[in-house]
Amino acid sequence: MGPVPRRPLITHHGHYEFGRPPADLWRALEEVDQFESWWSWLEDFRIDGGSVARGAVLHGVVAPPLPYRMRIRVELSECEPCRRIGALVHGDLEGEAQLEIAEAGTGSEVEVSWTVEMMQRPMRVASRFAHPLMQWGHDAVVAVTVAGFRRRLESME
């Protein structure tokens, strides 16, 4: 019997520091109508439930710097303002994600992590041969996301 094929997973665990307190980060996260303007990789975004709260469902298309697009639905399964978000990811990606915010002096520390499985057949096949390239595309999207969020925080009064 040959080797067991690896599941087409994308994982991330990041630690980020911001010079703004948790309340400012949360206020920015609540500006869901601005997400597409901050993050060039996000298209067709909308939120059911009106705000960042437990039970809200975010819908959108992720378009990384690679030739594929992923339609996703993110259900906020846990939401503690200024502290934590837990989410279930569905659609072209399936998995779970967490975001933790903690005070750090006059700023904040943020821990984010997720594990998602690629569900589109072409992505699953590509993952077998080009997983490093797909991880690179993912990591590029994360870097753009963090940079866009930093810019938004810097512009806040």
SS3 assignment, position 66: coil
Q: Could you report the per-residue pLDDT of 66-122, keeping only the tens digit for each?
A: 777 899 999 999 999 999 999 999 999 999 999 999 999 999 999 999 999 999 898
C-alpha distances out from residue 91 to 59, 62, 74, 102, Å? 10, 11, 9, 30
Domains and CATH numbers, the chain: 10-155 (3.30.530.20)
Q: Could you report the per-residue pLDDT of 37-59, keeping only the tens digit for each?
A: 888 888 999 999 878 999 999 99
Would you tell me how many other CB atoms lie within 10 Å of the CB of residue 104?
A: 14
Alpha helices per DSSP H over the chain: 22-29, 35-38, 121-155
The residue among 41, 44, 45, 46 whose CA lies nearest residue 63 is 41
Length of the chain counted residue by residue? 157
Q: Report how far residue 32's alpha carbon sits from residue 74's, in angstroms, rounded to the nearest whole number.
A: 13
Which helix (DSSP H) or strand (DSSP E) does residue 95 occupy?
Answer: strand 93-104
| Predicted model pTM | 0.87
